[in-house]
């Protein structure tokens, strides 16, 4: 009997692993056509690129960021690319009333919401922690508390549409990395809150999916405008990262987590980026491929 269990349990584990990580890709861009989507941090970087990809899929877009002039250009480009509609609300997430303003704009414009993509971040230095507690408080307001506030405000509409929440986070919220103490604290907070909320949704049978996108070092203004450290990772371009993110919410009915990181680390920043992502929309089927040296994994669970 003992020998049988020793053989059966590993085989069962292999069978379950195969089941959860070998689902076929079945993403169809038409599933996002006409969807009502909020994208925060959309004036540059990953948010801007996600807006363009969603525009090509003919979604309705509400974009938000601090800089109005940049948002105007992004909205114009989205309309050129085929967005069903595109508009913006500019403001700072440091303002505790702004998250509700954005969600209210979506409600007044569309009467509902299908996808909430939370992508904005506040400025933080990347160096030895200097003891500035006030900076951490300020960064938590932008990088964490405003995410919670946006979710709370949008949740009634998302429940009605059985929609999706996409949280763009960082590998700095999964593992400790030097020179990122304030930034990492906010990203760990995101992971803890939304992973816990995901489980509550499962228990309460709330059909709103939550996706955490765990990114590596991406070549955005916020990431590269920092002092040079003895060892830094190569930055992947946001235009390559974004295509893997918008497809996730259109399919999944099971909450999941998606990760992307550059393939090389601890190289001089000026070197070109070599990057490989997990398959677009892989969380929808609960499957992903893990490449040695290119951490790209999905975990799925749901009702």
The residues annotated with a catalytic role in the active site are: 183
**Token digits of residue 279:** 């398959």
Residues in the chain, how many? 303
The dihedral built from the CA positions of residue 90, 96, 99 and 100, taken in this order, carries a sign that is negative
Give the DSSP per-residue string, 81-130.
Answer: HT-SEEEEEE--TTSTTHHHHHHHHHHHHHSS-SEEEE--------SS--
The answer to whether the beta carbons of residues 117 and 106 sit under 8 Å apart is: no
* Spatial distance between the Cα atoms of 105 and 91, rounded to a whole number of angstroms: 13
Pairing mode of beta strands 164-170, 209-215 = parallel
User: How many CA atoms lie less than 13 Å away from 25 in the CB half-sphere?
Assistant: 13
**Token digits of residue 30:** 């038409």
Pairing mode of beta strands 60-65, 85-90 = parallel
* Spatial distance between the Cα atoms of 31 and 28, rounded to a whole number of angstroms: 6
* Spatial distance between the Cα atoms of 220 and 199, rounded to a whole number of angstroms: 32
The dihedral built from the CA positions of residue 145, 252, 117 and 98, taken in this order, carries a sign that is negative
Using the 8-state DSSP alphabet, how is residue 33 labeled? T
The answer to whether the beta carbons of residues 84 and 59 sit under 8 Å apart is: yes
């Amino acid at each position: 009997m003992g020998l049988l269990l020793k053989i059966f349990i590993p085989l069962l584990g292999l069978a379950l692993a195969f089941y959860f990580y070998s689902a076929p890709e079945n993403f169809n861009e038409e599933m996002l056509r006409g969807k009502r989507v909020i994208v925060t941090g959309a004036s540059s970087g990953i948010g801007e690129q996600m807006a363009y990809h969603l525009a090509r899929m003919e979604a309705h877009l509400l974009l938000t960021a601090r800089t109005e002039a940049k948002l105007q250009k992004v909205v114009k480009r989205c309309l050129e690319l085929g967005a069903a509609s595109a508009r913006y609300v500019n403001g700072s997430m440091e303002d505790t009333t702004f998250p509700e303003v954005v969600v209210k704009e979506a409600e007044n414009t569309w009467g509902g919401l299908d996808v909430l993509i939370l992508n904005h971040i506040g400025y933080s230095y990347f160096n030895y922690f200097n003891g500035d507690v006030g900076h951490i408080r300020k960064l938590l307001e932008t990088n964490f508390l405003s995410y919670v506030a946006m979710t709370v405000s949008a949740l009634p509409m998302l429940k009605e549409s059985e929609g999706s929440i996409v949280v763009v986070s960082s590998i700095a919220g999964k593992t400790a990395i030097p020179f990122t103490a304030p930034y990492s604290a906010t990203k760990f907070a995101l992971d803890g809150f939304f992973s816990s909320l995901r489980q509550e949704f499962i228990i309460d049978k709330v059909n709103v999916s939550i996706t955490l996108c765990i990114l590596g070092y991406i070549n955005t203004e916020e990431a590269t405008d920092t002092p040079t450290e003895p060892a830094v990772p190569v930055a992947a371009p946001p235009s390559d990262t974004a295509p893997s993110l918008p497809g996730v919410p259109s399919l999944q009915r099971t909450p999941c987590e998606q990760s992307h990181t550059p393939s090389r680390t601890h190289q001089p920043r000026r070197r070109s980026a070599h990057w490989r992502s997990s398959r677009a929309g892989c969380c929808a089927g609960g499957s992903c491929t893990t490449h040695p040296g290119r951490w790209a994994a999905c975990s799925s669970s749901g009702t």
